[in-house]
Structure 1
């Protein structure tokens, strides 16, 4: 039988699931919710800080705890789903997300809310790769799968955008707990329909094994680093607690490398990092995550604490950057095919740097000081993430494509968590911990400048990308 006839024969022997498009709707709703939860809390942070008694530096953990956990455990979650059963793990993750969302909304103390955000992050780290894995096994390779991945990408981008629109009204009209309660009806619907729409499947082609130790050490190491960064404004760089936290972070991350070198089933086989394209591409994605989450955190706080905007007003006023990012995400594939991923990544980082520099001039007028910066910044995000992803995935063997995609997704989440911590630390340090309008403005302007500096570093990293990357990788799944 010729190669051209094999797919048709396979399809005849295994006809497509007639409920696959309904299943896709369920899976896309999952991704929408997980991406929504990554950003929806941004606009509620000032309210959470006031009502739960968070410190100015400590409130960033409401975001960082979630994103660090998702990024650190994403690869483990996908591996567990492949081996233990994808539908089973999807239902388990959804139930855990439901319970943790409820408990986040009922939190009465800072420590409890952060703990529940970690649990929520664990659930999301199970749900996201599991849902994508189910999608890949439900749709055959080719036109249908590409169409399904297009819907998946759109829902992720839509979730991140909707966070700015939905988060404001929920916070202003119903209170901050509702940014978490909104997940409850969605999770209940997912749990109700999963047994009917999703087929159970597992990967039997690989030896059984989970690198739990690797996942735990890398997540704990990154959390120790973020904790050290958060403590710097109060304690200083040379305080014993700061040095111990940085030391613990270094030891845990070193232990992670040792575990990966010795593990029979490593979470991340270190050989994959021999590819310069993969390393530089993921660094571009990580830096893009740092910049976008750090910038929107600083901008949200500036507009609420200095300009007196409500959460709803901030959401509506900043929608332009998210919309521009989505449009550019879809345009970036063809542009990268024409110009090359390196050129597009350089342009993207230059745009983000320019946008942040304009925002650093912020003097109180939205139309003059903020809107122009957002219009330039927005397309830069979409172009940076897509070009970085194309570069990272274009030089990878087919057998490593799942691993490389997981690393790429984790890079964006971890970048977001680190960006939030770094920008919160920079802003607090430059404001001197004072809450006067002048001090806050100085601190937030420093935060915008730090974002611009990161974009400058990203531009240098992009220049190290080797030549033109393969246009075939332009069907990259976008990050939310």
Structure 2
């Protein structure tokens, strides 16, 4: 028997609150990084791990999270991983050692990777297929998108008081969900057919490989880079031999899926890496303009609004232009916004210089992100939609980790003052141009009505 609609709505709110926290935690560090670095005397490389550690663990274990939800129970996995997320947040706010903070961020990324697929599968099993499920999934997607934008703004407001509040802020929200969720979430018995095991070796090798790759980019050490390559090769070999692989390699026969994931990797390297560099620039180089944490957070608001408005119009443009052209145009516009930051000097005016760059970047971001997500899921049959969604999310998170690490390294080696930041902005813009090229060449120009409805 179906549960009353009111109980289902409560369950949806709770599940969306969890994915809101997962998305917000990626951006919540952004504005707080300079304050953390000053208070704890941390290097730029250490600061970037507070972002990269979370993003890479999230992306690397996301696909495994779906299998674990099927194996151990979606409801149980959701509650357990959210509890770990809250505990890691609380511990992080109490610590004052750099590497210990990084460990809490990695643990939170792992917990988020287990929470997100459990929450999504609980929505699809709670709401029957059709209009109600589509509306629920729309709310779920909106919660993730607003969580990232909200994190940038909240980071500025909280850091103005204390950067430790950035760690503490998710705790009461997570605890509230943990108290209410057992009363509202459905008790669904896991199927015996799903309890056949999961590809732990694949998840460990891909995550360790990417973590080592990020470390190699940050510390410019070739042994770590060589070990990363070996682990990534091992991951491919494991997936070829596994009976139930984490990523069945046959899915890469879909040209649109491969193209969308490569473009999304470049997209995340560009936009997340640029945001990391831009926030540090505003607070460290632009100190003469008094860009503190609060001013930085408020200054980013127009970019967030531009993303939301443009994303709502993206569907119409996709119908008219096609996926490839819309994604490519979006990433070209995004690149223009990033490269406009090259105009910024030590005393750049917000209205004349910074605001146009933020708005242009937001418009491009709002066009490219939906296009890449639709392309990633449009090339596979219905039974592989979960895998396709997990792959595109993993590509974005891993791209975020690599982009932040690479740009942090460039800022450190590019010289003091503006030179390092300008080099980082230039490389971020090139990543966006690379993504535009990949999308324009590899994505099909038309999108079916079925793909539009699914996306």
The TM-score range, normalised by the shorter chain, is: over 0.9
Which of 234, 241, 246 is the equivalent residue of 1:255? 234
Which of 148, 157, 168 is the equivalent residue of 2:136? 148
Instruction: Show the counterpart of 2:177.
Output: 190
Q: In structure 1, how many angstroms separate the alpha carbons of the residues matched to 2:450 and 2:148? A: 26
2:71·2:195 contact (CA, 8 Å) conserved in 1? no
Deviations 1:58-77 (A, max 9, x none): 21000100000000000111
Q: In structure 1, how many angstroms separate the alpha carbons of the residues matched to 2:212 and 2:102? A: 15
Alignment map for 1:82-93 (pairs within 5 Å): 82-93=70-81
TM-score, normalised relative to structure 2 = 0.95
Deviations 1:184-225 (A, max 9, x none): 111111110111100122344446111111001100000101
How far off is 1:17 after superposition?
A: 5.5
Deviations 1:395-432 (A, max 9, x none): 1011111111111111111111111111111222212x
Alignment map for 1:258-337 (pairs within 5 Å): 258-308=237-287, 309-337=291-319
Instruction: Show the counterpart of 1:10.
Output: none
Q: In structure 2, how many angstroms separate the alpha carbons of the residues matched to 1:51 and 1:211? A: 41
1:16·1:139 contact (CA, 8 Å) conserved in 2? no
Instruction: Show the counterpart of 1:80.
Output: 68
The alpha-carbon distance between structure 1 residues 476 and 314, as it changes in their structure 2 partners (threshold 3 A), is farther
Alignment map for 1:406-425 (pairs within 5 Å): 406-425=390-409
Q: In structure 2, how many angstroms separate the alpha carbons of the residues matched to 1:443 and 1:473? A: 43
Instruction: Show the counterpart of 2:215.
Output: 227
Aligned length: 448
Instruction: Show the counterpart of 1:474.
Output: 452
> SS at the partner of 1:131?
helix
The alpha-carbon distance between structure 1 residues 442 and 476, as it changes in their structure 2 partners (threshold 3 A), is farther
Instruction: Show the counterpart of 1:60.
Output: 48
Alignment map for 1:108-257 (pairs within 5 Å): 108-173=96-161, 175-201=162-188, 202-206=190-194, 208-232=196-220, 242-257=221-236
1:284·1:385 contact (CA, 8 Å) conserved in 2? no
How far off is 1:466 after superposition?
A: 2.8
Q: Is residue 2:411 matched to residue 1:427?
A: yes
Alignment map for 1:329-368 (pairs within 5 Å): 329-363=311-345, 364-368=348-352
Deviations 1:248-294 (A, max 9, x none): 00000001111101111100000000111000011222222111111
> SS at the partner of 2:397?
helix
1:85·1:200 contact (CA, 8 Å) conserved in 2? no
1:58·1:230 contact (CA, 8 Å) conserved in 2? no
RMSD across aligned positions (CA) = 1.5
How far off is 1:144 after superposition?
A: 0.7
Structure 1 unmatched ranges of 5 or more: 1-12, 233-241, 432-438
More divergent stretch after superposition (463-472 vs 83-92): 463-472
More divergent stretch after superposition (468-477 vs 401-410): 468-477
How far off is 1:103 after superposition?
A: 0.8
> SS at the partner of 1:135?
helix
Q: Is residue 2:53 matched to residue 1:69?
A: no
1:336·1:471 contact (CA, 8 Å) conserved in 2? no
Q: In structure 1, how many angstroms separate the alpha carbons of the residues matched to 2:272 and 2:187? A: 36
2:321·2:445 contact (CA, 8 Å) conserved in 1? no
Q: In structure 2, how many angstroms separate the alpha carbons of the residues matched to 1:53 and 1:329? A: 39
Instruction: Show the counterpart of 1:239.
Output: none
Deviations 1:47-99 (A, max 9, x none): 11122232122210001000000000001111101221111000100110111
Structure 2 unmatched ranges of 5 or more: none
How far off is 1:473 after superposition?
A: 2.4
1:89·1:130 contact (CA, 8 Å) conserved in 2? yes
Q: Is residue 2:22 matched to residue 1:44?
A: no
How far off is 1:367 after superposition?
A: 1.5
TM-score, normalised relative to structure 1 = 0.91
How far off is 1:369 after superposition?
A: 1.7
1:333·1:475 contact (CA, 8 Å) conserved in 2? no
The alpha-carbon distance between structure 1 residues 367 and 15, as it changes in their structure 2 partners (threshold 3 A), is closer
Instruction: Show the counterpart of 2:358.
Output: 374
Q: In structure 2, how many angstroms separate the alpha carbons of the residues matched to 1:149 and 1:337? A: 21
Q: In structure 2, how many angstroms separate the alpha carbons of the residues matched to 1:331 and 1:145? A: 22
